[in-house]
């Protein structure tokens, strides 16, 4: 396909495809191909764990802008020329370009996950693959509250979230543009205003949701549409901008690329994203796209047009698809990230697979006579049939790991008090079993008494001896709730009533700007309620952040202690280990070698974190209860003690483990 016949020669402008032959009068844009290469390189290097690119995830935002630009340019050209859009033709072309490579990788991933991923991941992976085959993976990940930038045990199809966003955009955008074109009476300037309104509204929604509903802000189309819309604005304003020499300056292209690269170098997992931060790579990409209109001159353009860069740009869609499962599936069987040399090596394998997929799948399927010579409905029927096949394959493949055992035939000694003597195998009498661990939640979850992140009202729930006038408050996030089984049992035996004040993902340590608005409102209500009731004892526990911020967190704990009733005794329940991934998942793949599912103590329970807690308690006269030596040896934190599975996920105790630590808490609940 020659330069004079296509707007784009190669793969999708983002993680979804762009029609390369839609407008035969649009010249080939090697700079856009080069931008794709930059975008996919950012993403792959970031996922490979290269330390100097902590914000490489912004490559997806680059893809979004390019897709919005190319698709809108094609649709606006057709509207201007004919006054209408051929929807069926549009969707058929999208299907032929996006789906062949997408479904190929999805099929291979489905089979590989069934064969090699831990059996305990089966149900979740099956749901995720089905959602992907039905074009809504982003909605599933948003609903699950997936933290893309902090996920330690990710889905092998998690990267398909961006395809979900683009596929949903492609479904709605043509109709939205066509309707707007009618409303503005075929005036392109007015269409710019309509698209601008969509961009502003979507951006505002993303900014508002990022701090309060981060997963929905990250994964949903309404909060990401503005990024594609910015590309659309660039396309709609291009004819006017192209007449300006200044706007086509190579310096502006360089400035746009610099903004993208700077975001990749400076942003990291702690950056609130998308939010306002996404504007930097998005506007940088739009600037580079618009300023690159002339296609001539400038060292930056020559670099973007360099043959190896162009090759990576052509392969970028398939490379994006292949690299993620190649990294995730091998890492899923262990409680540690792949060594850098392995992740880089697998990324290079992905490049080879991408080149082959482009050569033998993407290009041939675009012009497959069996589809292109028939009406558009044939392409759409083929797309629907492919979805059905993948869904059926996912269900069938899910039966393979389900048939595997989740324990050995050996039993372990029954444990009543948890001690750091770890069992080297998964015993047949494990409590809770690996099959049941996902449902092993404190009773407050089932009762609706443990508050969800968006709730602000207090539950008013009580446990222990609910008829007693002597009150103990259990206050904190889900790390406080994990102690409820032990606290409940002890309170019953001592005739104490437990007033529950726990809320997921809500840091009760008081630090400026920390916690969502809902969290801060709930915390204030809880503090006022305790001030009024003046409980005899307040038990506080909170998830501790990484060691680098532990000092600030300790200061926040001190501020909290100052707000608690002066007549209440205060006990701080020390933090518990946070593993790189859920030990239970790892155990399902290592039934006879559970040591692989333990972790170095300093990694999962840093001394700096414990020291910050201990010092905060000492400074404010609180009692500190340290569970570290009951859950870890001097060097290692294991997953099973006797017949007790210690953790239900990567950082919460099971109810059995909590109960097994009753004797550790007992002195704190005794009357002094």
pLDDT digits (tens, 9 = 90+) for 602-624: 999 999 889 989 999 999 999 99
- For residue 486, the model assigns a pLDDT of 97
Q: How far is CA 103 from CA 139, 153, 658, in A?
A: 19, 23, 44
CA 384 to chain centre: 27
Q: How far apart are CA 278 and CA 223, in angstroms?
A: 11
- For residue 665, the model assigns a pLDDT of 94
Percentage above 70 pLDDT, the chain = 92
- For residue 589, the model assigns a pLDDT of 93
According to CATH, where is 3.40.50.1110 located in the chain? 442-579+605-628+662-669
- Per-residue pLDDT, averaged over 342-359, amounts to 96
Report pLDDT digits (tens) over 643-672.
999 999 999 999 999 999 999 999 988 866
Q: How far apart are CA 211 and CA 209, in angstroms?
A: 6
- Per-residue pLDDT, averaged over 164-184, amounts to 93
pLDDT bucket at 246, cuts 50 / 70 / 90: low
pLDDT bucket at 389, cuts 50 / 70 / 90: very high
Instruction: Copy the structure tokens of residue 183.
Output: 């409303």
CA 24 to chain centre: 39
pLDDT of 17 higher than 80: no
Print burial letters for 410-440: b (CB count within 10 Å at least 16), e (below 16).
eebeebeebebebbebbbeebbbbbeebbeb
Q: Which residue has the higher pLDDT, 101 or 297?
A: 101
Give the CA count within 13 Å in the CB-facing half-sphere of 62: 35
- Per-residue pLDDT, averaged over 394-398, amounts to 94
- For residue 238, the model assigns a pLDDT of 83
- Per-residue pLDDT, averaged over 200-229, amounts to 94
pTM of the model: 0.88
Task: Please report the DSSP string for 230-279 in residue order.
Answer: HHHHHHHHHHHHTT-TGGG-HHHHHHHHHHHHHHHHH--TTS-TTTGGGH
Percentage above 90 pLDDT, the chain = 72
- Sign of the four-CA dihedral 638, 643, 646, 649: positive
Report pLDDT digits (tens) over 506-554.
988 887 767 778 899 999 999 999 999 999 999 999 987 665 566 778 8
Instruction: Look at the domain 442-579+605-628+662-669 and name its fold.
Output: Rossmann fold (3.40.50)
pLDDT bucket at 401, cuts 50 / 70 / 90: confident
- Per-residue pLDDT, averaged over 171-176, amounts to 94
- Per-residue pLDDT, averaged over 480-502, amounts to 96
**Average pLDDT taken over every residue of the chain:** 89
Is 258 in contact with 281 (CB distance < 8 Å)? no
CA 112 to chain centre: 22
- For residue 24, the model assigns a pLDDT of 41
Neighbours of 233 (CB within 10 A): 22
Q: How far is CA 632 from CA 13, 148, 278, 333, 639, in A?
A: 49, 29, 41, 22, 9
Is 473 in contact with 535 (CB distance < 8 Å)? yes
- For residue 16, the model assigns a pLDDT of 39
- For residue 15, the model assigns a pLDDT of 40
pLDDT of 310 higher than 90: yes
**Which residues touch 240 (CB under 8 Å, ≥6 apart)?**
none
- For residue 13, the model assigns a pLDDT of 35
- Decide the pairing of beta strands 640-641 and 644-645: antiparallel
- For residue 672, the model assigns a pLDDT of 61
- For residue 541, the model assigns a pLDDT of 95
């Amino acid at each position: 396909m020659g330069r004079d016949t296509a707007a784009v020669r190669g793969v999708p402008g983002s993680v979804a495809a762009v029609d390369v032959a839609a407008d035969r009068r649009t010249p080939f844009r090697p700079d856009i191909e080069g931008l794709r290469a930059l975008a996919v390189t950012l993403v792959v290097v970031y996922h490979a764990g290269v330390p100097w690119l902590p914000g490489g995830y912004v490559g997806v935002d680059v893809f979004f802008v390019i897709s919005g630009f190319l698709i809108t340019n094609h649709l606006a050209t057709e509207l201007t020329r004919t006054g209408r859009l051929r929807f069926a033709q549009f969707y058929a072309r999208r299907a032929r370009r996006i789906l062949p490579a997408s479904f190929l990788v999805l099929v291979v991933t489905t089979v590989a996950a069934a064969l090699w991923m831990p059996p305990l991941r089966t149900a979740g992976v099956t749901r995720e693959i089905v959602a992907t085959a039905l074009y809504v993976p982003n909605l599933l990940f948003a609903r699950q509250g997936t933290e893309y930038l902090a996920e330690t045990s990710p889905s092998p199809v998690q990267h398909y979230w961006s395809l979900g966003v683009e596929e949903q955009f492609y479904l709605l955008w043509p109709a939205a543009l066509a309707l707007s074109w009618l409303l503005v009476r075929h005036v392109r300037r007015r269409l710019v205003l309509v698209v601008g309104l969509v961009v502003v509204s979507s951006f505002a929604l993303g900014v508002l949701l990022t701090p309060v509903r981060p997963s929905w802000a990250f994964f949903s189309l309404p909060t990401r549409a503005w990024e594609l819309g910015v590309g659309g604005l660039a396309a709609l304003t291009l004819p006017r901008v192209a007449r300006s020499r200044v706007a086509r300056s190579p310096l502006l292209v360089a400035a746009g690329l610099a903004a993208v690269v700077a975001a990749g170098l400076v942003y990291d997992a702690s950056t609130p994203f998308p939010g306002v931060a996404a504007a930097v790579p998005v506007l940088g990409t739009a600037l580079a796209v618009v300023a690159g209109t002339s296609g001539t001159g400038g060292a930056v353009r020559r670099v973007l047009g360099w043959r190896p860069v162009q090759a990576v740009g052509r392969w970028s869609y398939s490379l994006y698809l292949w690299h993620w499962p190649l990294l995730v599936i091998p890492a899923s069987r262990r409680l540690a990230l792949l060594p850098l040399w392995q992740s880089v090596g697998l990324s290079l394998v992905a490049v080879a697979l991408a080149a082959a997929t482009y050569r033998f799948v993407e290009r041939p399927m675009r012009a497959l006579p069996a589809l292109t010579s028939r009406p558009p409905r044939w392409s759409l029927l083929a797309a629907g049939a492919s979805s059905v096949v993948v869904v059926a394959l996912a269900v069938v493949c899910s039966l393979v790991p389900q048939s595997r055992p989740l324990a050995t035939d050996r039993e372990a000694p029954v444990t009543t008090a948890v001690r750091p003597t770890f069992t080297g195998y998964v015993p047949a009498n494990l409590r809770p079993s690996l099959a049941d661990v996902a449902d092993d939640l404190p009773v407050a979850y089932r009762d609706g008494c443990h508050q969800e992140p968006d709730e602000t009202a207090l539950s008013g729930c009580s446990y222990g001896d609910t008829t007693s006038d002597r009150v103990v408050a259990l206050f904190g996030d889900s790390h406080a709730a994990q102690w409820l089984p032990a606290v409940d049992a002890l309170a019953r035996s001592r005739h104490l009533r437990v007033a529950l004040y726990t809320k997921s993902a809500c840091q009760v340590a008081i630090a400026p700007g920390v916690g969502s608005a809902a969290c801060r409102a709930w915390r204030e209500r809880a503090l006022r309620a305790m001030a009024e009731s003046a409980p005899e004892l307040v038990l506080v526990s909170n998830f501790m952040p990484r060691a680098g911020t532990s000092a600030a967190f300790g200061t926040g704990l001190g501020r909290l202690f100052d707000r608690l009733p002066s007549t209440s005794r205060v006990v701080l329940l020390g933090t518990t280990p946070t593993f790189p991934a859920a030990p239970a998942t790892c155990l399902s793949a290592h039934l006879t070698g559970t040591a692989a599912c333990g972790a170095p103590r300093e990694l999962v329970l840093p001394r700096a974190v414990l020291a910050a807690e201990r010092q905060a308690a000492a400074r404010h006269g609180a009692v500190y209860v340290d569970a570290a030596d009951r859950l870890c040896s001097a060097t290692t934190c294991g997953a099973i003690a006797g017949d007790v599975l210690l953790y239900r996920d990567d950082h919460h105790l099971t109810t059995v483990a909590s109960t097994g630590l009753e004797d550790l808490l007992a002195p704190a609940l005794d009357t002094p």
